[in-house]
Structure 1
Amino acid sequence: MARAYLQVGDLRGAARALVDADSVAPAEVRCRPLARTVIAEVARAQPAPAGVARLATLVGLTR
């Protein structure tokens, strides 16, 4: 779902979908390469949504 939001340019929707998915199935969000790619893309937004910035840090995409 987050990828679909990202493809239509809805960063807020993508962020919300990632955070929601992480609360339900964290391993799916944190370990799958595609999910990590989407997290990285959304985290690049300025300013990065807080929940996604946290996820990016948790999965090691930022310091």
Structure 2
Amino acid sequence: MFQAEIRDANTASVVSGALGIPIMRLQAGNRILLGRQIQVNQSQLDVQKPNIRDFVATIE
């Protein structure tokens, strides 16, 4: 009945989910995930955070 599209934040989404850090609180920088160093780019977060705010505003 309801559908919304949210752009994928690629690495930031994976790191957020795997580490249990809400993407709204995730900070750019290096993280270790499954023994590998992963880079979370600020540009990914800059795009994704407004998308999430807009989505949440539609369901409030």
TM-score of the two chains, using structure 1 as the length reference: 0.28
Q: Which has the higher contact order (CA 8 A, sep 6+)?
A: 2
Query: Rg larger in 1 or in 2?
Result: 2
Question: Greater strand share, 1 or 2?
Answer: 2
Question: Greater helix share, 1 or 2?
Answer: 1
TM-score of the two chains, using structure 2 as the length reference: 0.29
